[in-house]
Amino acid sequence: MIRHVSRFAALAGLVIALFVVWRSHPTEVLGLLRDAGAGLLVAGLAHVLPMLANARDWQTLIRGANRPTLLSMLKLVWIRESVNCMLPVARVGGELVSFQLLRRWRVRASTAAASLVVDMQLTIISQFVFTMAGIGFLAARGDSATGHVVGGLAWSTALLVPVPILFALVQHANPFALVSRGLDRMTSGKLTALVGHSVKTDQSIKVIWRRRAVVLRYLFFWQPLQCLATALEIWLALYFLGANVSFLAALTIEVLIQAVSSAAFVVPGALGIQEGAFVLIGGWLGIEPATSLALAGARRIRDLLIFIPGLFAWQFSLRNVR
């Protein structure tokens, strides 16, 4: 069912994307992209940096003699992002593919599944913090007292709420059992067929969370580093598009775009939704609509440049381990 929903969502997203382009002077947008030229390839290739940070933080969650090398984890991150972005899999297909590859690399099933679940949990925490900080930044930029109050509340929420709640939930619940039921419906039973019984996985998840130094490094070093590296892509793209934007503004665009894309997980690649979000968020930051849409186009160029080869790497990996 999820496959049919994703296909319909992709078609609807394509219609939205075409409408946004039509409304935003497509000739001007194409002119900006043409003038930026090879600079957009440089910005796209910079995506290797956040993938490398993600590979390292995910690697720290895996223990044992069969823990993959950093280069192998980088390849895994590349394939996971490629599948999630380019295929109609509601952003869970990449996780299933990653689990399959980890098992082929002789990582225990419970360890592989636990690393994926905790990686998702910590990413959600980080994304929540970054999103609230981004909202706080936008609200504080306004002249109204209400905006400053909203900004202060957003910053307070970002700093105080998520981490203690997640620590408590993981220690007193069976997170994989809860998550797997929902994901199993979305994947038509494929998750259970791949992973099997959830008790060992829940135990492995709790073991990872008890390694507090690893979790804290993930949250307060690796995830911020990954976010800054991804914001560098945005800043570089804007620079080559001729927009004079601060790195802090680029960081705000990135964290809010990530939040929108995650919320639109049913739409493959957040097609159409992402384009509209770039125009809206860019407008809040004083960026012209044509430039914002050209920035969205730069993000699509990055996707084609990085993720299409990633799909071929996935297929090659499957053949290579048979």
- If one counts every other C-beta atom within 10 angstroms of the C-beta of residue 306, the result is 19
Q: Residue 317: enclosing H or E segment and its boundaries?
A: helix 289-320
How far, in Å, CA of 96 to CA of 102, rounded? 10
- SS3 sequence, 51-89? HHHHHHHHHCCCCCCCCCCHHHHHHHHHHHHHHHHHCCC
How far, in Å, CA of 151 to CA of 148, rounded? 5
Of 56-70, 106-120, 194-208, the least confident: 194-208
Res 12: pLDDT: 52
Greatest alpha-carbon pair distance for the chain in Å reads: 63
Model confidence over 158-201: pLDDT tens digits?
444 555 555 555 554 555 555 555 555 554 555 555 555 566 77
Res 160: pLDDT: 47
Output helix, strand, coil percentages for the chain, rounded to the nearest 5.
80, 0, 20
The pair phi, psi for residue 70, each rounded to 5°, is -60, -40
Model confidence over 254-266: pLDDT tens digits?
988 988 887 776 7
Q: How many domains does the chain have?
A: 1
For range 117-130, the mean pLDDT: 85
- If one counts every other C-beta atom within 10 angstroms of the C-beta of residue 129, the result is 23
**Mean pLDDT for the chain overall:** 79
What domain range is 293 assigned to? 2-320
- Contact yes or no for 30/293 (Cβ under 8 A): no
Model confidence over 73-92: pLDDT tens digits?
999 999 999 999 888 776 77
Of 48-52, 240-244, 282-286, the least confident: 282-286
Please say if the pLDDT value at position 277 is more than 70: yes
How far, in Å, CA of 104 to CA of 186, rounded? 24
For range 240-260, the mean pLDDT: 91
- Contact yes or no for 83/89 (Cβ under 8 A): yes
How far, in Å, CA of 177 to CA of 199, rounded? 8
Res 150: pLDDT: 43
- Contact yes or no for 268/13 (Cβ under 8 A): yes
For range 32-58, the mean pLDDT: 95
For range 272-284, the mean pLDDT: 83
- If one counts every other C-beta atom within 10 angstroms of the C-beta of residue 173, the result is 13
